[in-house]
Structure 1
Amino acid sequence: MTTPAPVPTRKEIQITGIRKHVAECVTEIDGTECGAHSNVWDTAMYLDVWIRAHADEYEHKKFVKRTEEPVNVYTKPAKRPQ
């Protein structure tokens, strides 16, 4: 009895959720970053509103915007050449 040849596979990435947007204040105060975080939103437009409000209130000037997108990786059979 012969062993069957392995089936070629490939990795697929599938988006599994809604993209999330968050901002963080990275302004240094006495050698330490502020670290304040905005709420998490599913659209980026609210980040600028939060950044402006935080900058007005605390006079901070440096921020980082981050986007997270949940994904899964799965294996599926590769298409065989015809």
Structure 2
Amino acid sequence: MNSNKYTLDRFEGDYAVFLKYPNETESLLVCSSELNDKVKKGDIVNISVKEDKYKIEPLVEETMNQKERINQLLEQLKNRT
């Protein structure tokens, strides 16, 4: 079973578009019906494939850390003069 980290970037119709973490140069389309309610846009997840089924596990701590880093960068930009 192969697994990789992805960020949920957006929804397009019935599909969720994931970008491979951290470079976000590769994308993966997953039918939205395969997601659980806990996965939200911007979340970092671990995706593995077994027998043509996706197993999507939210990485809560990594998502929180990434959001904190982004907020710090935004604050730095706001405080520039």
Normalising by the residue count of structure 2, what TM-score does the alignment of the two structures yield? 0.26
| Higher share in strand | 2
| Higher share in helix | 2
Return the index of the structure with the highest Cα Rg.
Answer: 1
